[in-house]
Structure 1
Amino acid sequence: MTSLFDHYRLGALTLPNRVVMAPMTRVRAAAGGLATPSMATYYAQRATAGLIVTEGVQPSLVGQSNPGTPGLYTDEQTESWRPVTGAVHANGGRVFAQIMHGGRVSHPDTTGMRPVAPSAVPAPGEVFTPAGPKPAPVPRALPTAEVPEHARSYAEAARRAVDAGFDGVELHGANGYLIAQFLSSTANLRTDAYGGSVANRIRFAVEAVSATVETVGGHRTGIRLSPGAGFWGAEDAEVPGLYGALLAELAPLDLAYVHLEATADEEVLVGLRKAWPGTLIVNPVFPMGPRQTDRVAADHWLERGADLISFGRAFIANPDLVERLRQGLPIAPHDESTWYQGGDAGYLTYSAYQHAA
């Protein structure tokens, strides 16, 4: 039986275990979207994970969703990531940057720009701004001629990521952000080549991934998906057919992996496992739900065909999560009030398990 602690070959990388640190927004970047020394320490502390996937990194200013998040679209930003990747590698780790374009889940108060989206349909509810939550604005619908520019922005950020020392990138195609908006039948009301049919709604995702593969190679490219999640009002119709068609288009690109969130019924996810010929990462619990991923959930999905298992919140308070899972040690609780407050408290202040003397 496959164990969570078996080695795994991922592209050119040999992972010492099958534990992946999932991307989590922590809003600790400096002004200008720069990575910081504290971020280097944070990720280096968790370098025993088989693979780290960073928080979402915007590929352009208009692609920024939340205040305080880092970017990869200027030379200064690229340079600021070198100490982060260097620290992870010095501690024996491997790290991918998650490239995240927020699309309509943004606000002019954050970027100084009107958000862009497949259609002029606002996300429901409020989005984060420097002055606190505000209603999501009506985005600017992208003209057909402008859509490829935003698909290419993922590839341009990926090139910078590799220049900064990252082992690869994960395109954020989940949770209601730009790629997921194009996949959606409610956020995407287009009637051109990027909307309507399943073949058209997957086109943007395929173009973004293809451009990234052409730029940094398939072995350095992954994508995260949340089938049927409906986050930020981006609901999917025909979930098995939509995501099955997307995986069929991506399969020839020899990607490093597909990263699925458990946002659909297990039967649907198992069907997608069967449809995907490459490496599959599964995050076994519904994002932001009451349950965290644990050893039981991890083992269940390894039995169901996942190759790697991602853990999110458990990594916040447990930089030594791999060893805690290996030895059956208690998982420390995290303080949710510190998730997005900035500073080192609740960020660098969690320690490895302390054995009794």
Structure 2
Amino acid sequence: MSTPQPSTRSVSAASAAANLDNLTIATEGEPDTVDSVVAVGAEANGKPKLGPTGRPLRAIPEPPLLDKHGPATVLAMCNQKGGVGKTTSTINLGAALAEYGRRVLLVDFDPQGALSVGLGVQPHELDQTVYNAIMERSVTAQDILRHTSVEGMDLLPSNIDLSAAEVQLVAEVGREHTLLRVVQPLISEYDYVLVDCQPSLGLLTVNALTAADGVIIPLECEFFSLRGVALLIDTIEKVRERLNPKLDITGILATMFDPRTLHSREVMARVVEAFGDTVFDTVINRTVRFPETTVAGEPITRWAPKSAGAQAYRALAREVIAR
């Protein structure tokens, strides 16, 4: 299902931290020029086309058709900073993967239940959620599984009850593997399992990392968001060493990018400088369409299928499949 990646995708916490410690961001008083960024599809003196990351666009093949489903690749959408687009990216990446014929399971592993709300589910009306599945042996993932409006995409919902699990799991044997136990029976039925993590590095997030094959880090193109990534990568490395040797960073997704501002472009340049090919070519721009989709309870690929946001998540899906 996956293809080998260049060694430049390998990221260590030490090297990332070193790069970020030397980071400088332009101040508001500096000239706001756009000469350093070439838009997608533009040609500059016969040179290769550059994407919004400032790098030549890599050739991404059209996803092949599947003759069978499974076993699933489990991807954790993780960043301890809130408001960076984790939930939005989980919903829309899942919907885009489903458009390419992949069976997708979304796991709402945040007590706020934003992923469930974003798919039109009212968390307070749920009798059983992922909390019951991880805390009660008699409840299985199949018992709480819900189909979404997107064909081929299902959901394990969550609500505020999950907040109690972090405290209750502390006394459990093998507490870091609880989520893995829940989703394991479903692995053979799906091609991708996307886990929407809470904005912290607590026990629930460690559970998601222990169950995952890879991590996608949504990173807002803003200075404070960038500074916290080294800590997240340090946590990922510890989980890899102690709990899950197969865990890898699938990619870093730049979100909330505004190409009109010097600050966003400077942060983008530093992200690419620090993490190299680990950064996806796809960049998610700021748009009013995403808040609209939350109200509608639909992914952007259905709510505004021809919008730039929908096209961006389809491009991201192609990159994820290729990796």
The TM tier, using the shorter chain, reads 0.3 to 0.5
Which structure ranks higher in relative contact order (CA pairs < 8 Å, sequence separation ≥ 6)? 2
* Higher helix residue share: 2
